[in-house]
């Protein structure tokens, strides 16, 4: 489970983020349907039709392998930010 913690002077919030949600997000992001939909919207709104950015295809198996490897490294800090005003953001596996 990934944990996101945000601390400010006014409030503290901790959001648990299960790996199954991450796996479902990977399935959605790597779907051909969504990639095609986004690429069509980008092409429709591009000013220069000859030079349009295309989102490349993502390999679902490789992304899921990354998530399964992250499960083996519990407690590792991914993000640790402290601002001058005292705000802290911490993301841990």
Q: What is the pLDDT of residues 58-80, one digit of tens each?
A: 888 888 888 888 888 988 999 99
Instruction: Give the pLDDT confidence score for residue 14 in this predicted structure.
Output: 96
Per the CB < 8 A criterion, the answer to whether 9 and 86 are in contact is yes
Angle between helices 60-70 and 19-29 (to 10 degrees): 160
Instruction: Give the pLDDT confidence score for residue 8 in this predicted structure.
Output: 92
**What's the structural domain count of the chain?**
1
DSSP code of 55? Answer: P
Q: Which parts of 1-93 fold into alpha helices (H)?
A: 19-29, 32-45, 60-70
Q: What is the pTM of this model?
A: 0.64
On the CB side of 30, CA atoms within 13 Å amount to 13
Q: Which domain holds residue 31?
A: 2-92
Strand partners, 7: 12, 88
């Amino acid at each position: 489970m990934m944990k996101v913690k945000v601390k400010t002077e006014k409030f503290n919030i901790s959001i648990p983020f299960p790996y199954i949600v991450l796996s479902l997000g990977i399935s959605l992001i790597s779907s051909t349907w969504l990639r095609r939909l986004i690429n069509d919207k980008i092409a429709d709104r591009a000013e220069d039709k000859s030079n349009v950015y295309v989102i490349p295809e993502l390999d679902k198996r490789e992304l899921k392998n990354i998530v399964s490897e992250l499960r083996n490294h519990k407690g590792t800090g991914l993000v640790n930010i402290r601002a001058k005003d005292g705000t802290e953001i911490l993301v841990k596996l």
